């Protein structure tokens, strides 16, 4: 399939040999859907307000390792990859409200049955019904496996020709009626699932995350990461793999996978201090990463600038541009919009020109303009206004506060 996500000078995580990991994962989570498996549980503090209406079996069969639902907002269209018993979907459903919607995708029939069993009851308790679960592989989000199974029931595979025909049909379904369409969701969540995907499919998995997000949308992924490459011997152990251990991403490999897929604003929003497990000195812990899909627009020169607040001497953005602390650094219209919102806005102050430049007549932004924005560009040529604070201001008000 696709190339491995690889960092320069590092051994990539290789494919486990022997039994295909997906089958081991399927068997393990079928059992875990019927009865809680304590060794798959990683303690997570969810917001209790959202758990109150959930049936006990969904709370106890929680196999997550973080809480990506904290980054969901009202009105969002949410996609949860590897939704399991549906807990994150039902939490997100309460946060997005009746104007948003939530889709859970899982490849396991038993997990899907567990999640779907409570849909009606939970919808009645919440007051709206905005959650749907689909059967699919998260590295192939265009193919709805239940629809494909319906087709297979009518066209059973008897020989190689039948197998080739089925592959063509799957491609047709991906193109004509994708399970998750391009740019159709605002947030992609996942809780402790990506590590279970075969390394050979991981690049495709990140491409799918990117494809399904709307421009400006975000991925929030909680997963198990490790601090060293896991030896092949441990990766070949189906118990360790399906237990969310030996398939863990090496930390920097995990972050780099978002970069390779063209995400921006990639940040670690939480990282467990103590390891969840340690094997032969390798530490495995939970990490949550948030990353954004860029808005694809023509970069114009609208005389805008940003000032980096510090505390470091300078920062370097994803395109390699240096933004020194305290300097008015010229930016394009695309970067200005990007830096004015999460996650950059806390560190960068956007400076707009006194006289806005009309985008219809603006010049394209040229990379070589990156550097200090002149005051003439910000304030206009010949700007010599004098304006002193009036008497009523800056003298302190009755409540003791000052206005400047």
Q: For the packed helices 202-212 and 251-260, what is the interaxial angle rounded to 10 degrees?
A: 50
- By DSSP bridging, strand 304-308 and strand 348-351 are antiparallel
Applying CB under 6 A, the span of 61-69, 150-158, 225-233, 323-331 interacting with ligand SAM comes to 61-69
- What the block records as the tokens of 185 is 């969701």
| Bridge partners of residue 137, in order along the sequence | 140
Residue 290 interacting with ligand SAM (CB under 6 A): no
Residue 64 interacting with ligand SAM (CB under 6 A): yes
Q: CB nearer to ligand SAM: give 180 or 244.
A: 244
Residue 87 interacting with ligand SAM (CB under 6 A): yes
Show the binding pattern over residues 240-269: x = contacts ligand SAM (CB under 6 A), - = does not.
Answer: ----x-------------------------
Task: Scan for tokens 């919440």, then name that residue.
Answer: 126
Q: Which residues contact 304 (CB under 8 A, 6 or more apart)?
A: 330, 331, 332, 333, 336, 350, 351, 352, 353, 373
Rounded least distance, CB 14 to ligand SAM, Å? 18
Q: Which residues contact 6 (CB under 8 A, 6 or more apart)?
A: 12, 253
Residue 238 interacting with ligand SAM (CB under 6 A): no
SS3 120: helix
Binds ligand SAM by CB under 6 A, chosen from 79, 95, 101, 111: 111
Rounded least distance, CB 370 to ligand SAM, Å? 41
Q: CB nearer to ligand SAM: give 62 or 377.
A: 62
Listed as own residue / partner, the contacts of 126-131 with beta carbons closer than 8 Å and 24 or more positions apart are 126/53, 126/90, 126/93, 126/94, 127/98, 128/93, 128/97, 128/98, 130/93, 130/96, 130/98, 130/100, 130/101, 130/102, 131/86, 131/89, 131/90, 131/93, 131/101, 131/102, 131/103, 131/104
Task: Scan for tokens 């009755």, then name that residue.
Answer: 398
Rounded least distance, CB 103 to ligand SAM, Å? 13
Residue 42 interacting with ligand SAM (CB under 6 A): no
Question: How many other C-beta atoms are found inside a 10 Å radius of the C-beta of residue 78?
Answer: 28
Nearest to 290 by CA among 272, 270, 267: 267
Q: Is the distance from CB of 314 to CB of 308 less than 8 angstroms?
A: yes
Residue 288 interacting with ligand SAM (CB under 6 A): no
Residue 218 interacting with ligand SAM (CB under 6 A): no
Q: CB nearer to ligand SAM: give 65 or 378.
A: 65
Applying CB under 6 A, the span of 106-114, 206-214, 354-362, 372-380 interacting with ligand SAM comes to 106-114
Q: CB nearer to ligand SAM: give 25 or 266.
A: 25
Residue 192 interacting with ligand SAM (CB under 6 A): yes
Binds ligand SAM by CB under 6 A, chosen from 193, 220, 221, 307: 193
Q: CB nearer to ligand SAM: give 242 or 329.
A: 242
Show the binding pattern over residues 129-148: x = contacts ligand SAM (CB under 6 A), - = does not.
Answer: --------xxx---------
Residue 197 interacting with ligand SAM (CB under 6 A): yes
Q: Which residues contact 190 (CB under 8 A, 6 or more apart)?
A: 68, 80, 81, 82, 138, 219, 221, 222, 223
Residue 188 interacting with ligand SAM (CB under 6 A): no
Distance between CA 320 and CA 340 in Å, rounded?
A: 19
Binds ligand SAM by CB under 6 A, chosen from 196, 250, 260, 305: 196
Residue 62 interacting with ligand SAM (CB under 6 A): yes
Applying CB under 6 A, the span of 102-110, 119-127, 209-217, 299-307 interacting with ligand SAM comes to 102-110
Distance between CA 304 and CA 354 in Å, rounded?
A: 10
Applying CB under 6 A, the span of 188-196, 212-220, 249-257, 389-397 interacting with ligand SAM comes to 188-196
Contacts to ligand SAM by CB under 6 A: 25, 29, 62-64, 82-85, 87-88, 106-108, 111, 137-139, 191-193, 196-197, 244
């Amino acid at each position: 399939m696709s190339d491995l996500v690889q960092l320069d000078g590092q051994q990539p995580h290789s494919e486990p040999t022997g039994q295909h990991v997906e089958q081991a994962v399927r068997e393990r989570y079928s059992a875990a859907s019927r009865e809680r498996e304590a060794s798959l549980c990683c303690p997570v503090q969810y917001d209790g307000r959202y758990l109150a209406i959930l049936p006990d079996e969904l709370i106890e069969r929680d196999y997550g390792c973080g809480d990506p639902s904290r980054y969901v907002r009202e009105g969002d269209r949410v996609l949860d990859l590897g939704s399991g018993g549906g807990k994150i979907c039902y939490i997100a459903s309460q946060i997005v409200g009746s104007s948003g919607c939530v889709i859970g995708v899982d490849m396991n029939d038993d997990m899907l049955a567990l999640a779907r069993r409570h849909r009606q009851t939970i919808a009645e308790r919440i007051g709206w019904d905005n959650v749907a679960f689909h059967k699919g592989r998260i590295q192939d989000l265009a193919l709805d496996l239940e629809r494909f199974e319906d087709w297979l029931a009518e066209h059973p595979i008897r020989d190689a020709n039948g197998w080739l025909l089925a592959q063509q049909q799957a491609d047709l379904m991906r193109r004509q009626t994708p399970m998750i369409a391009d740019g159709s969701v605002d947030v992609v969540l996942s809780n402790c699932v990506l590590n279970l995907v075969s390394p050979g499919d991981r690049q495709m998995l990140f491409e799918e995350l990117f494809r399904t997000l709307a421009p400006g949308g975000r991925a929030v992924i909680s997963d198990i990461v490790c601090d060293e490459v896991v030896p092949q011997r441990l990766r070949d152990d189906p118990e360790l793999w399906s237990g969310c251990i030996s398939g863990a991403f090496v930390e920097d490999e995990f972050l780099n996978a978002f970069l390779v897929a063209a995400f921006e604003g990639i940040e670690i929003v939480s990282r467990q201090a103590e390891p969840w497990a340690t094997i032969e000195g390798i530490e495995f812990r939970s990490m949550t990463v948030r990353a954004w899909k860029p808005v694809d627009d023509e970069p114009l020169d609208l005389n805008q600038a940003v000032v980096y607040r510090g505390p470091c001497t300078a920062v370097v953005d994803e395109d390699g541009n240096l933004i020194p602390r305290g300097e008015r650094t010229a930016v394009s219209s695309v970067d200005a919009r990007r830096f004015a919102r999460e996650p950059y806005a806390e560190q960068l102050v956007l400076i707009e020109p006194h006289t806005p430049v009309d985008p219809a007549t603006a010049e394209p932004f040229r990379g070589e303009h990156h550097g200090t924005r002149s005051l003439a560009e910000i304030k206009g040529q010949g700007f010599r206004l004098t304006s002193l604070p009036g008497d009523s201001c800056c003298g302190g008000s009755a409540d003791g506060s000052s206005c400047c």
